[in-house]
Amino acid sequence: MADELPFAGRTQTSLFHVLMHSPEALSLDEIAARIGVTKTAARQHILNLQADGYVQIADPAPAHQKRRGRPTITYVISREGRELFTRQYALFSEKMILMLKDGLDDKEFKKKMQELGRSLAEDLQLEMPKPELGQSLGPDTLKSLANLMCEIGYDAYQSAANEITAHNCVFHKLAEKHEMVCEVDLTLMQKLTGKKPVHSECLVRGGKSCRFTF
C-alpha cells in the first residue's frame, strides 16, 4: 500500500510498513536502518505509534532464542494497527455475512461463502488475464490478482512465482469467529486464476501473514 496512513506522515508510514512486512519483531536499530533515520528519530516515531496503540513491544523471545547480554526490545504491529488498512471490501460484507450465517449450519454456511466468492469474481474478472483451465498461470496473473486484492483492502503482493502474501485480512475479526469466511477469498482467487489456492499460512491461525500458494 503506497498511500500514507491517515494518522501519520511519510516516515511513520514507512516505519509502519517495515514492521508490517517483517516476519519477525524488529529492534530500534533495525528499524532506523531500514527507513534511513537515526535511532533517536526512530524511537520518537515508535513512541508516537505506541501512544496511539498501533505498535507494541513484542513478547519476549523463548529462552532458547535469547541472546547473551542485555535483552533487546523489539516491536511489532498491534492488532489495532492491522485494522487501519482500507476496508472497502469489509464495509458492506460483514453485516451481510452475519445475516447469511444466521440459521445456517456449517455446511450450508460454507456453501454460501463460496457462492459469494464466485459472485465477487464475476464482478472483477474483466480486470484479470483470462485463465486457461488446466494450464500454468500466466506471468501476469498473480500480479494482477495481488493488485485487485489491494484495491479491495488487502496489503498484498506477489511474493513468489506461484504465491501471494497478504499482511492483513479484511475479514480478520469475522474470520476469528467463523473461519469458513476464508472460503470467500479462496473461491474468489480460484475463480479468477483457474487454480485452487492453498491457504498455507493464515493470520487467524497464528501466522505472520496470509499466504496463498497456487
Q: What is the predicted pLDDT for the residue at 85? A: 59
Final residue before a domain boundary, out of 82, 109, 133: 82
Do 129 and 92 lie in one domain? The reply is yes
Domain of residue 66, residue span: 10-82
**Is the same domain home to 171 and 203?**
yes
Give the global pTM: 0.62
**Within a domain: 156:** yes
What does the pLDDT look like over 75-85, one tens digit per residue? 998 877 876 65
What CATH number is associated with residue 62?
A: 1.10.10.10
Q: Which amino acid is at 70?
A: R
Q: Over range 169-173, report the average pLDDT.
A: 80
Q: What percent of the chain has pLDDT over 70?
A: 83
DSSP 25-56: -EEHHHHHHHHT--HHHHHHHHHHHHHTTSEE
Given 55, 82, 109, which residue is the final one in a domain? 82
Looking at the fold, whether 145 and 203 belong to one and the same domain comes out as yes
User: Does residue 5 lie in a domain region?
Assistant: no
Do 48 and 104 share a domain, yes or no? no
User: Do residues 39 and 55 touch, judged by C-beta distance below 8 A?
Assistant: no
Q: 65 falls in which pLDDT band (50, 70, 90)?
A: very low
**Number of compact structural domains in the chain:** 2
DSSP element (H, E) containing 157:
strand 156-160
Q: What per-residue confidence (pLDDT) applies to 64?
A: 41
Residue 200's CATH number:
3.30.1380
Location of C-alpha cell 533517536: 40
Are residues 103 and 23 located together in one domain of the fold? no
Q: What is the pLDDT of residue 93?
A: 66
Residue that finishes a domain, picked among 66, 82, 98: 82
Picking from 42, 16, 19, the residue whose alpha carbon sits closest to that of residue 29 is: 42
Q: Are residues 32 and 98 in the same domain?
A: no
pLDDT tens digits along 75-122: 998 877 876 655 555 556 677 777 778 888 989 999 989 998 999 888
pLDDT tens-digit profile of 8-56? Answer: 577 888 888 889 888 889 999 999 999 999 999 999 999 988 988 889 9
Q: Please provide the size of the chain in residues.
A: 214
